[in-house]
Amino acid sequence: MQILKTVALSKVYGEGDTRILALDGINLEVEKGEFAAIVGTSGSGKSTLLHMLGGLDVPTSGEVFVDGQELGRMSEDEITIFRRRNIGFVFQQYNLVPMLNVRENIILPVKLDGRKPDFDFAKEIISVLGLEEKLSRLPEQLSGGQQQRVAIARALVVKPVVLLCDEPTGNLDSKTSQDVLGLLKIMGREYGQTIVMITHNEEIAQMAGRIFHIEDGRIVMDSGRFTRQGRGVNRE
What's the burial of 19, exposed, middle or buried (CB within 10 Å: 0-12/13-18/19+)? Answer: exposed
Concatenate the DSSP letters of all residues of 98-147 into one string: TTS-HHHHHHHHHHHTT----HHHHHHHHHHTT-GGGTT--GGGS-HHHH
Percent of the chain with pLDDT over 70: 94
Confidence grade of residue 107 (pLDDT, cut at 50, 70, 90): very high
| Average pLDDT estimate for 161-169 | 92
- Using alpha carbons, list the distances in angstroms from residue 4 to 23, 31, 96, 155: 17, 7, 27, 17
| Average pLDDT estimate for 141-156 | 93
Q: Give the pLDDT score at 234.
A: 32
- Alpha-carbon distance of 166 to 94, in angstroms, equals 10
Confidence grade of residue 224 (pLDDT, cut at 50, 70, 90): low
pLDDT digits (tens, 9 = 90+) for 189-210: 888 899 999 999 888 899 898 9
Nearest alpha carbon to residue 72 among 86, 56, 89, 58 = 58
pLDDT digits (tens, 9 = 90+) for 31-85: 999 999 999 998 999 999 999 999 999 999 999 999 999 999 999 999 999 999 9
Q: What is the DSSP letter of 158?
A: T
Concatenate the DSSP letters of all residues of 51-75 into one string: HHHTTSS--SEEEEEETTEEGGGS-
pTM score, whole prediction: 0.88
Asked whether residue 117 carries a pLDDT value surpassing 80, the answer given is: yes
Asked whether residue 226 carries a pLDDT value surpassing 50, the answer given is: no
